[in-house]
């Protein structure tokens, strides 16, 4: 049986692994240590490196081994849960700035692609599809809220006819097009910003697993698996759903790792593209256990979906995703699957990101709840500002209340049970 967590993503197969500093082989002192070589950690490192700080970033495996090199590549603006929910926690004078923080992820990606000349197959255009009338009503509501804040890149696809210019599938009755969101090759983008961070002076250590974190007495001490010590004035933790037992207790209780899976087909020919996603926009449907898919620059269908809340490797990933894809595009039934893989998403109870402190000199973010490709860049900048004293937005975000997941050691079965209810709701279209 294949282990889809260990399977490389198609993105990892596409590129030759880039060389960074490799494993730590001595004790190190630095201004700021960052744990995690995903989109968040590298974004924070890039922004701090460019400000001239002495930064060391530690990644347990290779850059992008976590969710950042395994995701669906969908760039989606906005917060991971409703802005109304978020607004309840923040001071009114920060509301507009907070709204902007939610939607500036795609623009930041675009800015970095141009600035660092990153070739990462970016394509703009995104369709939220509706399976039933309830989804259409939700999309109408979504559009109203965005337009009230001055966002003018959305237009309604009110029926199948208008949807067919973008996506040809009988699975959907309509949708909402967003010209400001899109998709990219996430690992090419991440390597691009990592190289930019390295050029800005950041020391990037790969294969360097941090196995203990101590934050007492205003000094941060990290220890690697081989026993090397890192001493840092400030610490930023960006290990997200991959931190495991190293995670301080506070973080562990507020975030649950959920497994999502993706597959890539062999390239589609022109007529298959015209009969599936002629617009080449990224697509996501309105279900809780949603399908998300796109045609990439090599014309492969990158199809993601299913979620496992049991924190273990899911079975039959390829067969299950194939079944899901065939329900949307029966004409692709015979396409060969090049690769299927899984990765860990960090989710929070309220689906809003969890920003916080574990001491005066150690901060973290986690739990983008499946919505991190665009937002991770913004979050990295918020963390980088916070450690340099510009911490107003960070402080506001720490006010979001995050309940612990119920169930203690049994929390993943409890979560699985809870999510079954949402899947039933999807099934019965309520
Ligand atoms: C299958 C899948 C599909 C997804 N699809 C989408 C999508 O289409 N669009 C979207 O917006 N979001 C998507 N997401 C979510 C998105 O990928 C994440 O929100 C985002 O990548 C999080 O980035 P990060 O840097 O915070 O965490 P990660 O990318 O998970 O990085 C954390 C890193 O920390 C390292 N690490 C952990 N512990 C240690 C330690 N002790 N020492 C050293 N290093 C450590 C890990 O090895 C890892 O590389 C998806 C996620 C998955 C798994």
User: Backbone phi, then psi, for 270, in 5-degree steps?
Assistant: -55, -40
Q: How far is the CA of 326 from the centre of ligand 1 (A)?
A: 28
Contacts 24+ apart (CB under 8 A), 291-296: 291/324, 291/325, 291/328, 292/72, 292/74, 293/72, 293/325, 293/328, 294/72, 294/73, 294/74, 294/123, 294/183, 295/268, 296/73, 296/121, 296/183, 296/185, 296/264
From the alpha carbon of 373, which atom of ligand 1 is closest? 11
Contact in structure between 284 and 128 (CB atoms under 8 Å): yes
CA distance 22 to 38: 16
pLDDT given at position 249: 87
Q: How far is the CA of 152 from the centre of ligand 1 (A)?
A: 30
As for ligand 1, residues whose beta carbon falls within 6 Å of it are: 35-41, 58-61, 65-68, 70-74, 76, 209-210, 238-243, 246, 260-262, 292, 304, 343-345, 368, 370-374, 376
pLDDT at site 417: 46
Q: Is residue 117 packed enough to be buried (19+ CB in 10 Å), middle (13-18) or exposed (0-12)? A: exposed
Which residues lie closer than 8 Å to 72 by C-beta, 6 or more apart? 183, 262, 282, 292, 293, 294, 302, 304
- pLDDT of 1 reads 43
Write out the two tokens for 136: 């259409």
pLDDT in tens, the chain (430 residues): 456 667 999 999 999 988 899 999 999 999 999 999 999 999 999 999 999 999 999 999 999 999 999 999 999 999 988 899 999 999 999 999 999 999 999 999 999 999 999 999 999 999 999 999 999 999 999 999 999 999 999 999 999 999 999 999 999 999 999 999 999 999 999 999 999 999 999 999 999 999 999 997 778 999 999 999 999 999 999 999 999 889 888 899 899 998 999 999 999 999 999 999 999 999 999 876 789 999 999 999 999 987 665 555 667 899 999 999 999 999 999 999 999 999 999 999 999 999 999 999 999 999 999 899 999 999 999 999 999 999 999 999 999 999 888 765 445 544 444 444 444 445 444 4
Nearest residue (CA) to ligand 1, atom 4: 71
Report the separation in Å between the CA atom of 231 and the middle of ligand 1, taken as the mean of its atom positions: 25
| Domains of the chain and any CATH numbers | 10-418 (3.50.50.60)
Give the single-character DSSP code of 31. E
Closest-lying ligand 1 atom to the alpha carbon of residue 284 = 8
- Using CA atoms, how far residue 325 sits from 42, 78, 123, 337, 370, in Å, is 33, 26, 21, 11, 20
User: Which amino acid residue places its CA nearest to atom 52 of ligand 1?
Assistant: 71
The pick from 35, 47, 58, 68 for probing ligand 1's pocket by mutation, whose C-beta has the most ligand atoms within 8 angstroms, reads 68
């Amino acid at each position: 049986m294949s282990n889809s967590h260990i399977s490389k993503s198609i993105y990892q197969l596409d590129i030759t692994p880039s060389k960074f500093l490799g494993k730590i082989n001595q004790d190190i002192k630095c201004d700021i240590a960052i744990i995690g070589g995903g989109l968040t950690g590298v974004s924070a490192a890039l922004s701090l490196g460019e400000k001239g700080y002495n930064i060391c970033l530690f990644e347990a495996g290779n850059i992008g081994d976590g969710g950042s090199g395994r995701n669906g590549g969908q760039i989606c603006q906005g917060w991971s849960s409703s802005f109304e929910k978020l607004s309840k926690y923040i001071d009114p004078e920060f509301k507009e700035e907070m709204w902007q923080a939610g939607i500036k992820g795609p623009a930041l990606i675009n800015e970095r692609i141009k600035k660092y000349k990153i070739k990462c197959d970016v394509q703009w255009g995104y369709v939220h599809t509706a399976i039933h009338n309830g989804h259409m009503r939700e999309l109408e509501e979504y559009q109203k809220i965005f337009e009230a804040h001055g966002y003018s890149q959305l237009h309604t696809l009110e029926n199948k006819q208008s949807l067919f210019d973008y996506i040809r599938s009988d699975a959907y009755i309509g949708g909402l097009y967003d010209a400001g969101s899109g998709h990219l090759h996430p690992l090419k983008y991440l390597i691009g910003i990592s190289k930019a961070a390295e050029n800005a002076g950041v020391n990037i250590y790969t294969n360097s697993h941090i196995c203990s974190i101590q934050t007492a007495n205003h000094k941060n001490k990290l220890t690697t698996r081989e026993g090397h010590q890192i001493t840092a004035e400030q610490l930023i933790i960006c290990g997200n759903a991959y931190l495991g037992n190293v995670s301080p207790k506070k973080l562990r209780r507020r975030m649950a790792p959920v497994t999502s899976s993706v597959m890539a087909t062999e390239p589609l020919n022109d007529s298959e593209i015209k009969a599936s996603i002629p617009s080449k926009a990224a697509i996501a449907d309105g279900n809780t256990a949603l399908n998300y898919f796109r045609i990439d620059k090599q014309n492969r269908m990158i199809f993601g979906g299913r979620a496992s809340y049991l924190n273990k490797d899911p079975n039959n990933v390829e067969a299950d995703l194939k079944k899901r894809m065939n329900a949307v595009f029966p004409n692709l039934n015979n396409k060969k699957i090049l690769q299927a893989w899984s990765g860990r998403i960090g989710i929070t109870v309220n689906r809003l990101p969890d920003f916080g402190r574990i001491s005066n000199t150690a901060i973290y973010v986690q739990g983008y709840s499946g919505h991190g490709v665009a937002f991770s860049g913004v979050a990295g900048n918020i963390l980088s500002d916070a450690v340099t004293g510009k911490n107003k937005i960070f402080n506001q975000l720490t006010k979001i209340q995050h309940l612990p997941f119920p169930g203690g050691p049994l929390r993943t079965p409890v979560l699985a049970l809870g999510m079954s209810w949402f899947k039933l709701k999807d099934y019965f279209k309520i």
